[in-house]
């Protein structure tokens, strides 16, 4: 450990760290544009200049390594003067078209100008005109006027994805970011460039002109689209008064977690958020005996409990089939195990997952569900389901999720379901399945519920609801707990449980895998 | 007794004041009826629908959207007016403009005058001077609430 | 036949005169005068075929509106008395017009017709009696509404009217002593004489103290600002809270009518009634000598005009007072009535007696 003094504050840092990251650890912010923790520092923006005792000139905090008894001043007059000068030079060519810039509100250059600049420009010359709308990728648009040549994007593609599609071309005032020979940026992590860019030079068409960033509220969640479990922020609009909002979620951004996803998320996780707002199921649906009876939460649960109880009382529980999927959280899967396997002594429990996709070299895994590892650890085997064989063996079918459609065609499902007396579906989407089942419970998505996922590396990550639940939909764990009460089994046990954290406590007591994360 | 007398004097003085007002105003009213023009008038009333008071130059009246030379609205959908509006009555939606110098133009610009409180913050906030409240129109009442929701075409007039 | 027709025509003419004047005083004068006092213009929009006439049609517009408003009787009120009260109020005030002399006499053919509906010996007492009976309207309205606030308003009204009734009557005693008659026509006749040869022998000159007491008491009798405690339209709730439509209009008419009646009484008792100074039956007899003879019909017209002018002045004056003063507090009201006006009227009687006995 090396002791250095920053602004009269003694800071301990490991050998090899830079002054900037040492200051950051101590809670002292040093402005920087080109520095990014994930890349090798380049020192091209000059914003992080600090005064260091014994050095004749100001030094770059981002690339100066700490030494014993280094004395650093980050707020001295000389430093702020220098920052102002640097800003003035950057802004000499920056267009200041903040009103139409999608970065406005979260732009670092804007923040630093607010903090250190606030000067009238001394340049009498007109600003250089450059191309404002260059397509550099399927979704990416480059604005060369706004670009401050920090080369973060170039370094990202060189060091992280190692695809090297972008580079700095020409020299001096003609320097510009460009692709090689018109080859577009084409990799599964291109969306990260918009986050990496400290100004609004690289924007994506998905978010372009949709909304200004300050209208959005942020909530932390876990990406459920593959078993990696990347940490994400869901940015949603709370809605304007009296104007029906078109969608809730406007974008997904990555959240730093060095143990899982560093600073990045893949384009699938970033741009496939429309499932949160589209085709959502908002009511209890039923088509029992061809009649549409209106159900609410209470009557639906009573109906389900009554059917299950009848089988159980007649000792015919073997004629009930349960189909799960690994979009369910650890807590929900655990509750299913407790209620159906331990208490009702059911045997016929199957998993039906979404079909697998392609994996890539970095984060994206082939499983398109977030919790396969968790399901395995809780004790569900992934045996293949012979769906057509269910017909004669089942009186009550309870199914979670709509992934059956990946397994069998709609006609086959219809034929099988007609032979089953009671069929109950827990679904968040209005898929084709919904009309086939006798009773459908609307359920919440991962962004709307609390719980935890176990990712492919066995890491358990908890999350809290970000969005409000859609219509009458509720998280599955709430339905399961209520169902246990309606079934009136082992009530001493279930009455202790009221939240997902309580379920997690129980899991830690009973399953050794979950203990290690304590 | 003396105090009561004092009241009495005040009472008389009071009615003399109102009587004086009556007489003076009546005098000017009669002069007007006789067709004699005077500087002072009998009443300060402005006979509204026929006579209209001139609005102050800073008066905030109905909004309008300023246009560029080619008739397109100046608005670049920065949404600062939406941000600053205390009654949340502005709704703007952006569209891509073919001109890369403009890039962003409104596809929808709706002001709900049912909610608008005419504070003029939107005018203050606008960086493009695209919205102004200087039309001088103050008679904007409608029989239908829907008619008070002004869209881009109505605001451009 | 003609004996029957003449009184009928007189009654009709008197009532039409009273109602028109009331309508205009209670509505047009009230609104316009207050407006002019306030530097406003006042109601001027009611028009017939675009003819506005400085709002002269406004009273009719208001009356028509009043007629077509819903006449609402609350379910909890005593229906019959509730309907009766405004009519009682209206009737007892309207009937006093019978006793007022509009002029001397006119001669049509061989007939001499008095310009007065009812010329009995006790017309003054008749007027006082009828005005006292008007209290019943107020009390009944308050009580029959079955609303506690209306009842309180009615009780306030009754107490106020009864209190001022005393001063009202006593202030006139001195007058009766001077013109020893209870007959209004002869009181007016007596005021045609001259004092010291040049001052008309009007009540105001002979009974200045009596006039002041009478003025205050009469204002209180009209139940208007500053004595509007029974009603208190602006904040405290009064006896006709539960009235609407034409019945409420009748109360308002009664209010206006009281102004007119009080004005006619002031004119008749203290300002010479239809008398024009120095005008005798055959023309003017100037106190500095010299005469100006006029035809008798011109004299009658002059006298009737003088009466109307005086009445209108007092109507104007009362409206002016109503737009000048704030309301009395109830204890102040009672103090004024019992502790000031009644002693003053007694002093007036004694003083008059002493002067007369000299």
pLDDT digits (tens, 9 = 90+) for C75-119: 999 999 999 999 999 999 999 999 999 998 888 888 888 999 988
Q: What is the pTM of this model?
A: 0.75
User: Which top CATH class is A129-276?
Assistant: alpha beta
B55-111 pLDDT tens trace: 999 999 999 999 999 889 999 999 999 999 999 899 999 999 888 888 899 999 999
Residue C111: per-residue pLDDT: 86
Contact B47 C35 (CB under 8 A): no
Q: For residue A209, give the nearest of B83, B96, B115 by CB distance.
A: B96
Contact A242 B101 (CB under 8 A): no
Please tell me the distance in Å from B54's CA to the nearest CA on chain C: 19
pLDDT(A241) > 90: no
Q: Categorize the per-residue pLDDT at A389 as very low, low, confident or very high, splitting at 50, 70 and 90.
A: confident
Contacting partners of chain B (3+ CB pairs under 8 A): A, C
For the record, the structure tokens of C355 come out as 């002067």
Answer whether B24 touches C (CB < 8 Å): no
Answer whether B99 touches A (CB < 8 Å): no
Q: What is the mean pLDDT of residues A110-136?
A: 87
Residues 102-121, chain B: which have Cβ within 8 Å of A?
103-104, 112, 115
Q: Please state at what angle helix C30-37 crosses helix C296-322, rounded to 10 degrees.
A: 60
Q: What is the mean pLDDT of residues A433-443?
A: 90
Residue A289: per-residue pLDDT: 62
Is A126 or C352 the better-scoring residue by pLDDT? C352
pLDDT(A288) > 80: no
d(CA C253, CA C261): 12
Q: What is the mean pLDDT of residues C108-134?
A: 90
Q: For residue A99, give the nearest of B78, B82, B88 by CB distance.
A: B78
Residues from chain B contacting residue A100 (CB–CB below 8 Å): 76-78, 103-104
Contact C37 B11 (CB under 8 A): no
Write down the ipTM of this complex. 0.84
Residues from chain B contacting residue C341 (CB–CB below 8 Å): none
Residues from chain B contacting residue C37 (CB–CB below 8 Å): 18, 21-22, 25
Contact B43 C39 (CB under 8 A): yes
Contact C262, C218 (CB under 8 A): yes
Query: Among A336-340, A511-515, C210-214, which is the least confidently predicted range?
Result: A511-515
pLDDT(C197) > 90: no
For the record, the structure tokens of C38 come out as 């306030």
Please tell me the distance in Å from C318's CA to the nearest CA on chain B: 10
Contact C41 B15 (CB under 8 A): no
Q: Which of C29, C32, C33, C38 to mutate to test the interface with B (most CBs of B within 10 A)?
A: C38
Q: For residue C324, give the nearest of B4, B18, B42 by CB distance.
A: B18
Residues across chain B: 157
Q: What is the mean pLDDT of residues C275-286?
A: 88
Q: For residue A241, give the nearest of B77, B88, B128 by CB distance.
A: B88
Residues from chain A contacting residue B78 (CB–CB below 8 Å): 98-100, 104, 212
Contact B78 A100 (CB under 8 A): yes
Find the largest Cα–Cα distance for chain A.
91
Q: Categorize the per-residue pLDDT at A290 as very low, low, confident or very high, splitting at 50, 70 and 90.
A: low
Q: What is the mean pLDDT of residues A311-330?
A: 90
pLDDT(C181) > 70: yes
CB crowding A268-286: b at 16 or more within 10 Å, else e: bbbbebeebeeebbeebbb
Answer whether A126 touches B (CB < 8 Å): no
Residues from chain B contacting residue A131 (CB–CB below 8 Å): 100
User: Which top CATH class is A285-515?
Assistant: alpha beta
Residues from chain B contacting residue A241 (CB–CB below 8 Å): 88, 115
d(CA C330, CA A366): 92
Q: What is the mean pLDDT of residues A411-434?
A: 88
Residues from chain A contacting residue B76 (CB–CB below 8 Å): 99-100
Please tell me the distance in Å from A118's CA to the nearest CA on chain B: 17
Q: What is the mean pLDDT of residues A477-496?
A: 90
Answer whether B141 touches C (CB < 8 Å): no
Q: Scanning every residue of chain A, which has its alpha carbon at the shortest distance from the alpha carbon of B114?
A: A242
pLDDT(A223) > 70: yes
Residue C175: per-residue pLDDT: 93
Please tell me the distance in Å from C334's CA to the nearest CA on chain B: 15
pLDDT(A92) > 80: yes
Contact B79 A211 (CB under 8 A): yes
A372-384 pLDDT tens trace: 999 999 988 887 7
Q: What is the mean pLDDT of residues A261-269?
A: 93
Q: What is the mean pLDDT of residues B141-156?
A: 92
Q: List, in order of start, the domains of chain B with CATH numbers.
A: 1-45 (no CATH), 64-156 (3.30.70.3270)
Residues from chain B contacting residue A209 (CB–CB below 8 Å): 77, 94-96, 104
d(CA A397, CA A420): 7
Q: What is the mean pLDDT of residues A255-264?
A: 93
Contact B15 C320 (CB under 8 A): yes
Q: What is the mean pLDDT of residues C39-56?
A: 89
Residues from chain B contacting residue A243 (CB–CB below 8 Å): 91
- Which of B133, B112, B114, B113 lies closest to B122, judged by CA? B133
Answer whether B22 touches C (CB < 8 Å): yes
Q: What is the mean pLDDT of residues A99-109?
A: 92
pLDDT(A46) > 80: yes
Q: Categorize the per-residue pLDDT at A518 as very low, low, confident or very high, splitting at 50, 70 and 90.
A: very low
Q: Which of B4, B22, B51 to mutate to test the interface with C (most CBs of C within 10 A)?
A: B22
Contact C36 B25 (CB under 8 A): yes
Q: What is the mean pLDDT of residues A397-415?
A: 87
Q: Categorize the per-residue pLDDT at A392 as very low, low, confident or very high, splitting at 50, 70 and 90.
A: confident
C29-38 pLDDT tens trace: 999 999 999 9
Q: Domain residues of chain A, as ranges?
A: 2-92, 129-276, 285-515
- What SS3 string covers chain C? CHHHHHHHHHHHHHHHHHHHHHHHHHHHHHHHHHHHHCCCCCCCCCCECCECHHHCCHHHHHHHHHHHCCCCCCCCCCHHHHHHHHHHHHHHHHHHHHHCCCCCEEEECCEEEECCCCCCCCHHHHHHHHHHHCHHHHHHHHHHCCCHHHHHHHHHHHHHHHHHHHHHHHHCHHHHHHCCCCCHHHHHHHHCCEECCCEECCHHHHCHHHHHHHHHHHHHHCCCCCCCCCCCCCCCCCCCCCCCHHHHHHHHHHHHHHHHHHHHHHHHHHCCCCCCCCEECCEEECCCCCEEECCHHHHHHHHHHHHHHHHHHHHHHHHHHHCCCCCCCHHHHHHHHHHHHHHHHHHHHHHHHHHHHC
Contact B22 C325 (CB under 8 A): no
Q: Which of C33, C36, C215, C320 to mutate to test the interface with B (most CBs of B within 10 A)?
A: C36
Contact A100 B76 (CB under 8 A): yes
Residue C232: per-residue pLDDT: 82
Task: Kindly tell me whether chain A and chain B come into contact, counting contact as 3+ Cβ pairs under 8 Å.
Answer: yes
Q: How many CB pairs under 8 A join A and B?
A: 42
Residue A517: per-residue pLDDT: 53
Q: For residue A240, give the nearest of B88, B94, B96 by CB distance.
A: B88
Contact C41 B22 (CB under 8 A): no
Averaged pLDDT score across all residues of chain B: 91
Residues 184-243, chain A: which have Cβ within 8 Å of B?
208-212, 214-215, 240-243
Q: For residue B83, give the nearest of A133, A214, A242 by CB distance.
A: A214
Please tell me the distance in Å from C323's CA to the nearest CA on chain B: 8
Answer whether B10 touches C (CB < 8 Å): no
Fold of A2-92: Ubiquitin-like (UB roll) (3.10.20)
Answer whether A128 touches B (CB < 8 Å): no
A15-45 pLDDT tens trace: 889 999 999 988 999 999 999 999 999 989 9
Q: Sign (positive/negative) of CA torsion C346, C351, C354, C357?
A: negative
Answer whether B130 touches A (CB < 8 Å): no
Q: Which of A100, A103, A207, A237 to mutate to test the interface with B (most CBs of B within 10 A)?
A: A100
Please tell me the distance in Å from B141's CA to the nearest CA on chain C: 22
């Amino acid at each position: 450990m090396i002791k250095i003094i920053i602004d009269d504050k003694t800071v301990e840092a490991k050998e090899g760290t830079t002054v900037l990251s040492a200051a950051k650890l101590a809670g002292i912010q040093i402005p920087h544009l080109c520095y990014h923790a994930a890349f090798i520092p380049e020192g091209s923006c000059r914003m992080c200049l600090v005064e260091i005792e014994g050095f004749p000139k100001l030094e770059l905090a981002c690339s100066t390594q700490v030494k014993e008894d280094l004395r650093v001043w980050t707020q001295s007059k000389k430093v702020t003067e220098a920052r102002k000068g640097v800003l003035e030079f950057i802004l000499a060519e920056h267009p200041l078209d903040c009103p139409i810039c999608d970065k406005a509100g979260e732009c670092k250059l804007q923040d630093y100008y607010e903090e250190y600049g606030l000067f009238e420009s001394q340049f009498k010359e007109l600003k250089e005109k450059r191309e404002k709308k260059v397509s550099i990728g399927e979704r990416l648009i480059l604005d060369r006027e706004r670009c401050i040549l920090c080369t973060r994007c170039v370094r990202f593609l060189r060091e992280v994805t190692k695809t090297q599609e972008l580079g700095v071309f020409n020299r001096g005032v003609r320097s510009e970011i460009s692709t090689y020979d018109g080859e577009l940026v084409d990799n599964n992590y291109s969306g990260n460039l918009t986050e990496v860019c400290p100004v609004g030079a690289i924007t994506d068409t998905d978010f372009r002109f949709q909304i200004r960033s300050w209208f959005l509220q942020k909530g932390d969640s876990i990406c459920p689209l593959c078993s990696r479990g990347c940490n994400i922020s869901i940015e949603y609009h709370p809605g304007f008064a009296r104007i029906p909002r078109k969608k809730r979620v406007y974008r997904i951004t990555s959240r730093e977690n060095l143990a899982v996803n560093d600073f990045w998320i893949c384009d699938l996780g970033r741009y496939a958020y429309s499932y949160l707002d589209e085709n959502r199921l908002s009511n209890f649906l039923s088509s029992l005996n061809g009649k549409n009876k209106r159900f609410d939460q209470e009557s639906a649960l009573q109906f389900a409990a009554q059917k299950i109880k009848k089988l159980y009382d007649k000792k015919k529980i073997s004629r009930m089939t349960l189909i799960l999927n690994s979009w369910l959280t650890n807590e929900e899967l655990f509750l299913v195990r407790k209620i159906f396997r331990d208490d009702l002594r059911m045997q016929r429990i199957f998993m039906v997952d979404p079909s697998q996709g392609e994996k890539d070299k970095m984060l994206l895994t082939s499983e398109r569900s977030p919790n396969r590892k968790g399901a395995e650890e809780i004790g569900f085997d992934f045996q293949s389901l012979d769906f057509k064989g269910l017909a004669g063996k089942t009186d009550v079918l309870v199914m979670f999720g709509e992934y059956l459609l990946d397994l069998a065609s709609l006609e086959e499902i219809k034929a099988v379901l007609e032979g089953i007396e009671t069929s109950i579906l827990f679904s968040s989407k209005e898929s084709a399945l919904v009309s086939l089942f006798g009773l459908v419970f609307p359920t919440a998505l991962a962004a709307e519920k609390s719980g935890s996922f176990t990712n492919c590396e066995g890491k358990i990550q908890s999350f809290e609801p970000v969005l409000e639940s859609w219509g009458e939909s509720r998280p599955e764990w709430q339905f399961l707990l209520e169902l246990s009460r309606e079934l009136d089994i082992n009530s001493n046990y279930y009455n202790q449980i009221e939240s997902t954290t309580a379920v997690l406590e129980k899991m830690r007591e009973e399953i050794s895998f979950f203990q290690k994360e304590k | 007794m003396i105090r009561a007398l004092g009241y009495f004097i005040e009472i008389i003085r009071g009615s003399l004041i109102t009587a004086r007002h009556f007489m003076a105003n009546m005098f000017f009213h009669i002069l007007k009826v006789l067709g004699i023009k005077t500087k002072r008038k009998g009443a300060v009333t402005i006979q509204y629908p026929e006579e209209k008071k001139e609005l102050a130059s800073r008066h905030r009246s109905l909004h309008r959207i300023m246009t560029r030379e080619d008739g397109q609205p100046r608005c670049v959908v920065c949404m600062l007016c939406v941000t600053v509006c205390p009654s949340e009555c502005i709704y703007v939606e952006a569209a891509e403009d073919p001109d890369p110098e403009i890039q962003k133009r409104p596809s929808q610009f709706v002001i709900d005058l049912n909610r608008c409180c005419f504070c003029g913050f939107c005018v203050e906030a606008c960086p493009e001077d695209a919205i102004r409240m200087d039309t001088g129109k103050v008679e904007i009442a409608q029989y239908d609430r829907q008619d008070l929701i002004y869209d881009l075409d109505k605001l451009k007039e | 036949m003609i004996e029957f027709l003449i009184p009928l025509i007189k009654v009709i003419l008197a009532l039409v005169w009273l109602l028109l004047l009331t309508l205009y005083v209670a509505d047009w004068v009230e609104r316009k005068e207050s407006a002019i006092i306030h530097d406003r213009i006042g109601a001027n929009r009611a028009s017939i075929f675009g003819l506005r006439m400085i709002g002269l049609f406004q009273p009719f517009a208001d009356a028509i509106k009043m007629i077509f408003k819903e006449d609402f009787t609350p379910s909890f009120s005593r229906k019959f008395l509730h309907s009766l009260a405004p009519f009682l109020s209206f009737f007892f005030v309207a009937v006093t017009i019978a006793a007022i002399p509009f002029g001397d006499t006119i001669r049509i053919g061989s007939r001499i017709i008095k310009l007065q509906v009812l010329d009995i010996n006790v017309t003054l007492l008749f007027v006082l009696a009828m005005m006292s009976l008007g209290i019943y309207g107020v009390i009944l309205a308050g009580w029959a509404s079955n609303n506690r606030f209306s009842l309180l308003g009615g009780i306030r009204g009754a107490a106020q009217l009864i209190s001022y009734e005393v001063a009202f009557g006593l202030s006139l005693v001195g007058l009766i002593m001077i013109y020893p008659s209870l007959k209004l026509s002869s009181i007016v006749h007596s005021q045609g004489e001259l004092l010291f040869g040049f001052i008309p022998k009007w009540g105001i000159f002979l009974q200045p103290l009596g006039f002041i007491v009478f003025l205050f008491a009469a204002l209180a009798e009209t139940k208007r600002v500053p004595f509007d405690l029974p009603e208190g339209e602006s904040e405290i709730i009064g006896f006709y809270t539960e009235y609407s439509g034409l019945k409420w209009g009748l109360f308002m008419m009664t209010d206006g009518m009281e102004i007119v009646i009080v004005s006619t009484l002031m004119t008749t008792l203290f300002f010479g009634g239809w008398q024009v100074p120095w005008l005798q039956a055959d023309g003017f007899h100037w106190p500095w000598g010299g005469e100006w003879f006029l035809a008798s019909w011109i004299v009658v017209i002059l006298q009737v005009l003088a009466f109307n002018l005086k009445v209108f002045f007092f109507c104007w004056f009362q409206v002016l007072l109503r737009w000048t003063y704030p309301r009395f507090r109830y204890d102040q009201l009672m103090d004024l009535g019992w502790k000031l006006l009644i002693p003053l009227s007694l002093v007036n009687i004694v003083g008059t007696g002493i002067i007369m006995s000299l």
